Amino acid sequence: MIGTDPLTVLTLTPLFVGFGLLILPQLLPSKNAKSIQKVSRNISFGVALGLFTFATYLSCKNFSGIDWLDISMGDYILTNEPTTLISSIGVSWIVGADALSLPMIWLTALLIPLSMLVEWDAKKGHLFHPLILIMEGALLGVFVALDLFVFYVFWELTLIPMFFLILVWGGDDRKYASMKFFIYTFTASVVMLIGILVMYFSTDGGASAGSLTGHHFDLIAMAAQDTLIETEGLRHMVWLLLLIGFATKMPSVPVHTWLPDAHVQAPTAGSMLLAGVMLKMGAYGFLRIAVSLFPESTVTFIPLLVVLGMASLVYGAWVCMGQTNLKRMVAYSSVSHMGLIFLGIATMQPLGIAGALFMMFAHGLISPLLFAVAGAFKHHYHTLEIGSMRGIAHHSPYLAAHMMLGWMGSLGLPLLAGFVAEVAILIAFWMTFGWLVVLPALTLIITAMYYLSSMQRTIFESNDRHNGILPESLHGEDPTDVTWHENTGMFILGALAILFGILPFIFFDMMSDWSTKFLETILVAALENQGVNP
Amino acid sequence: MIFLTNEEMQLIIPELIMLVGLLGIILIPNFGDAKIRLPLTKIHLPILIGGKRFKPTSNPKLPNRLTLFTLVVAFFFGFADRVATGDVGNALSVDSFSRVFFLIFTAALILSTISAAHRIPARSNVKPPNESDSESLVSRKIDALIDNRRQVDFHIILLMVGLGMSLMAMANHLFMLFVCIELASLSSYILVAFHKESAAGGEAGMKYFIVGSVASAVGIYGMSLLYLWNGDLSFDGLAASWAAADGIDPLAGIGVGLMLVAFGFKVGAAPFHLAAPDAYSGASSPVAGLLATASKAMGFVAMIRILIGITLPVEGEAFWFVTIALISVITMTWGNLAALTSDNPKRILAYSSVAHAGYMLAGLAAIGSGIASIAATKLILIAIIFHLAVLVLFKFGAFLVLSLLETEGRSHRLEDLYGLGKREPLMAGSMFVFMLSLAGVPPLAGFLSKFLMINGIVNASVASGSAGSVSVIGWMGTVNPVFWLAIAIVFNSALSIFYYLRIGLVMFFEAPETDNPLKSATSLRLAITVCALLTVILGITSLGDSVLDIISNAVETFIGN
């Protein structure tokens, strides 16, 4: 049976509680629907908060004072005793964390209670909050699983709560958006599955007893195998299949179109989790599987990565300038930032990869803040149009403050978390590609342009010094400021964005050490093969 | 007993239980207070049969309960004794291979009985219509009375199907095999046409009967050719002569080929599958589910017996390899393409069952290619049987959901499924699980079986590609064509996702035509939930391993023969 090691507990608790809360009320008489909603919400929130405390405790206890340079690749912390799940095809329950997954685990544990807090009064609360709890289990599962089968199962499992979050609690066009979201990501993960299966068939025998097939899904053992796939062409093909799966999730430019639709229609909590953690699954999986196991293919395809990253970065930012819908603009800015992650990986510099890792984390703090702001804007002003409204600062000072902070963080203001990541990536990019760095650097100016102009039009500018223009959707009512729970959620996110902007080394040192080790152990051989001087 | 020794009786306890249950259903509802007067005296002796029936025996729900009880007891006895081995008479031999199939058949029959209780309901308190009743009330009362009347018929035939199938799995003689298949088939023709008052039911039954009997006739002709060739139809005798023969006697080859037509009809392989969609959509869902699971498994027992047990050469390619490989690819592609264009859930499920037959035939073809090692052969057989076993969970599960829908009306339009997610979240969730499992999405049971199948085919064939070639294209040029069967399965699975998801998504996307919850058929709902849970659990926990252990035991017994 599966043991009681901390990461297993962390992953399975929300799943069990979430499914229990979903199913148990169905069996009760439906008289007390109202009280069930409240009980269900409170239990979910309590569990999420408890898990966050637990995750923080785990991080502080196990990860402080570790010299990451001493830890070789393939060593994980907080691992469990591998237990066999399905011996006939070699599936085991193996979990572990390292500097790549730890910030993501902590981020997930942080964002779940915050997203619940922001949508404290969601309709059908007896379904909403348990679904988010299931989402937490699935997301944590993706980040802790070290068995590809389990990884894939959790990867797919994240789709289901998100699909229902969009479908049931989404905006007017939710059917189209949820369908598109489902089809894009599902198709992409099936493509990825084919890649995983080819890898599976290439693993050495000697798998666990009772295996019928003689292969296994164990990621650590795969990494330890000399050459996982003998044929070079097949290796490249598998790498590309994996890339399709991960790039769609990130999303990178040619396959990004599901993201704006999903974001615009999703409820606030859904958007926060989608932008905050789900997009990072793509980058995480790419580093964990594709880059780690096929470094040579990665080096071969660096130009492709640069093109994809650059296209996402520039195109995302360019399209942002034309958006009038707040959520759509933020969604495209996510595409743009995810492009930076690809560029960071493509540099093949420790600094670049560390920057990409920190970008994953920083974007995971700032974009949920942006979506929480957009959700609050929608909630209190009943519109998402940027131009329809001026002078928020007058009507809703708290909302305006959070909006400012979020946008400043997203455009990379120094002393906010996003800045550290951007600078690290740009420096590494310059070190590898020289003056090509001008293009991403100029894009940052575009980013500043669209954020500043939106800011000008929404928060400040006002024809009438005292009233501003109110959107028609309010029907003449006075807008209200954010509620206490929205305020709390946004405040925590904003504070953390500032904290990690001023003291980035909390995670950044760990990340850069890990990246150094990562490149040393995995890429040196590949680079030598390719004739590049590391 | 005169015919059977005690040991033989012990071996076939489950079948005897079914037989006793069958007699019980014939007799028990007839128990009444009839008396006979001894001649020339005034003594009235109760003879129990006839007269006014007692209260418990006149309950129209009795046949269903008796059948369920019989099947469950038989299932448990079969399960407890699943490793028993021995011969019964000359024509039957019990081993774990036949017992595994017995369990598959019985499980499907149990589900069929549970859903029949709600699909063809018996009502205890129906009064005959009065003159004062309104017209609709009269017709409803008459319907209910008819349903009550035919409870016994339906369940007798259901048990006949079970008896025929389980004996068929034990047959070690071709003639016995055929007689048992016919027992099961003729009974299932009646079941398909059971709702003779509906035009679709009658037409479906007729069509199924005609095509089925032609297929059987062809098969019997093939069998007679084999008899002409060998003079002995026992499997051992046939296998020995086949191995001893120098090359393939045309008589024998044609005989086996003709028999494949009969079995191909049973498993629903193209081009013999054409009656299947009509039969499924015309029959009631409990029966359609039976056809899609138990009947298909029956066809595969026969195929495995003939193709692997008798005609598989020790080394080199079997003579049927190319035929079966082609049929498998055509079957799966045809099934999936036809399902894509269909709007009737039952037809979609029928075509999906055709496609699944194609996947399993691809496995058989890979065994016949002559490049599969013993381990790969074993793996593929395990995968086929495991797939047949888990089909009972998710294919029949889907039909159970449809029969729940049929309790309130119809289930032959996609619109009938609209908005099920709103009306019945748990049922819709289960249906979604069934669809994903049929599509083979991890980590459900359907993935595990399909994955083992692909794994077996790849293990058998991948070594034939030259490892040295750098490009993928070059490698693919060198690999044995069997490898392409695996690719065909993968592509077809990808194709099939579209129509499975279509069923899955209309339940959540479209507005329901009515908001009323469905009938509270507790046992049926419980069965659906259990099927859905098992579909998940078998795919992801070690329970799947335990089932695979039982099956691999059975396969070892069979290959050892």
Nearest to B545 among A86, A179, A182 (CB): A86
Q: Is the pLDDT of residue B390 over 90?
A: yes
Residues of A in contact with B435 (CB under 8 A): none
Average pLDDT over residues B206-220: 92
The per-residue pLDDT for range B2-31, each reduced to its tens digit, is 677 888 888 889 999 999 999 999 888 888
Query: Helix count (H) and strand count (E) of chain B?
Result: 24, 4
**pLDDT confidence tier of residue B463, bands split at 50, 70 and 90:** low
B296 within 8 A of B290, measured Cβ to Cβ: no
CB B494 to CB A231 under 8 A? no
The per-residue pLDDT for range A357-368, each reduced to its tens digit, is 999 999 999 999
Return the half-sphere exposure (C-beta side, CA atoms, 13 A cut-off) of residue B15: 24
The predicted pLDDT at position B212 comes to: 92
Token pair, residue A180, equals: 């598109």
The predicted pLDDT at position A110 comes to: 93
Say what angle helices A102-118 and A6-27 make with each other, to 10 degrees.
30
The predicted pLDDT at position B389 comes to: 94
CB B505 to CB A179 under 8 A? yes
Nearest to A153 among B379, B443, B455 (CB): B443
Q: Is the pLDDT of residue B435 over 90?
A: yes
Closest CA to B397 of B428, B421, B424, B425: B428
Nearest to B548 among A23, A212, A232 (CB): A212
Q: Does A173 touch chain B (CB under 8 A)?
A: no
Residues of A in contact with B473 (CB under 8 A): 233
State whether the Cα torsion B504-B506-B509-B512 is positive or negative.
Answer: negative
| Assembly ipTM | 0.82
Bin A214: left if φ > 0, else alpha if -120 < ψ < 50, else beta: left
Return the half-sphere exposure (C-beta side, CA atoms, 13 A cut-off) of residue A95: 22
CB B442 to CB A193 under 8 A? yes
Residue B345: strand pairing partners = none
The per-residue pLDDT for range A332-353, each reduced to its tens digit, is 999 999 999 999 999 888 899 9
The predicted pLDDT at position A534 comes to: 46
A159: amino acid identity, one letter = L
DSSP B259-296: HHHHHHHHHT-TTS-THHHHHHHHS-HHHHHHIIIIIH
Contacts for A264 with CB less than 8 Å, ≥ 6 apart: A171, A173, A177, A325, A327, A328, A331, A384
A118 within 8 A of A268, measured Cβ to Cβ: yes
What's the burial of B244, exposed, middle or buried (CB within 10 Å: 0-12/13-18/19+)? exposed
Token pair, residue B545, equals: 């391993």
Q: Which of A43-47, A71-75, A510-514 has the highest mean pLDDT?
A: A43-47
The per-residue pLDDT for range A226-239, each reduced to its tens digit, is 777 777 788 888 99
Closest CA to A412 of A460, A448, A387: A448
The predicted pLDDT at position A446 comes to: 87
Q: Is the pLDDT of residue B522 over 50?
A: yes
For chain A, what is the mean pLDDT? Answer: 84
Least confident of A194-198, A220-224, A496-500: A220-224
Among A212, A229, A240, the strongest candidate for a mutation testing the B interface, having the largest count of B CBs within 10 A, is A212
Residues of A in contact with B472 (CB under 8 A): 231, 233-234, 237
d(CA B206, CA B77): 36
Chain B nearest-CA distance from A218, in A, is 16
Contacts for A321 with CB less than 8 Å, ≥ 6 apart: A446, A449, A450, A453
State whether the Cα torsion B506-B511-B512-B513 is positive or negative.
Answer: negative
Q: Quick check: bond before A6 cis, omega within 30?
A: no
Residues of B in contact with A23 (CB under 8 A): 426
The per-residue pLDDT for range B325-372, each reduced to its tens digit, is 999 999 999 999 999 988 889 999 999 999 999 999 999 999 888 888
The predicted pLDDT at position B336 comes to: 92
Residue of A nearest to B502 (CA): A179
Residue A84: strand pairing partners = A92
Q: Is the pLDDT of residue B424 over 90?
A: no
- Measured CA angle at A428 (ends A142, A60), to 5 deg: 45
Residues of B in contact with A197 (CB under 8 A): 451, 454
- Measured CA angle at B534 (ends B528, B539), to 5 deg: 140
Q: Is the pLDDT of residue B468 over 60?
A: no
Higher pLDDT, A263 or A81: A263
Return the half-sphere exposure (C-beta side, CA atoms, 13 A cut-off) of residue B34: 10
Nearest to A153 among B426, B442, B542 (CB): B442
> What are the C-alpha distances in Å from B231 to residues A136, B174, B237, B252?
68, 12, 9, 11
Nearest to A233 among B442, B455, B471 (CB): B471
CB A86 to CB B544 under 8 A? yes
**pLDDT confidence tier of residue A467, bands split at 50, 70 and 90:** low
Q: Is the pLDDT of residue A272 over 50?
A: yes
CB B545 to CB A230 under 8 A? no
d(CA A269, CA A119): 6
CB A231 to CB B469 under 8 A? yes
The predicted pLDDT at position B497 comes to: 87
B540 within 8 A of A85, measured Cβ to Cβ: yes
Chain B nearest-CA distance from A213, in A, is 7
At residue A390, the 3 state secondary structure works out as: coil
The per-residue pLDDT for range A470-490, each reduced to its tens digit, is 666 666 677 777 888 888 889
Say what angle helices A484-502 and A397-411 make with each other, to 10 degrees.
30
d(CA B162, CA B14): 11
d(CA B145, CA A498): 77
Higher pLDDT, A142 or B196: A142
Average pLDDT over residues B253-267: 90
The predicted pLDDT at position B21 comes to: 93
**pLDDT confidence tier of residue A511, bands split at 50, 70 and 90:** confident
Higher pLDDT, B390 or B33: B390
Q: Does A532 touch chain B (CB under 8 A)?
A: no
| Percent of chain B clearing pLDDT 70 (strictly above) | 97
Q: Is the pLDDT of residue B464 over 70?
A: no
Residue of A nearest to B444 (CA): A153
B191: amino acid identity, one letter = L
- Please give the helix or strand (H or E) that residue A314 lies within, else none: helix A302-321
CB A230 to CB B467 under 8 A? yes
CB B455 to CB A213 under 8 A? yes
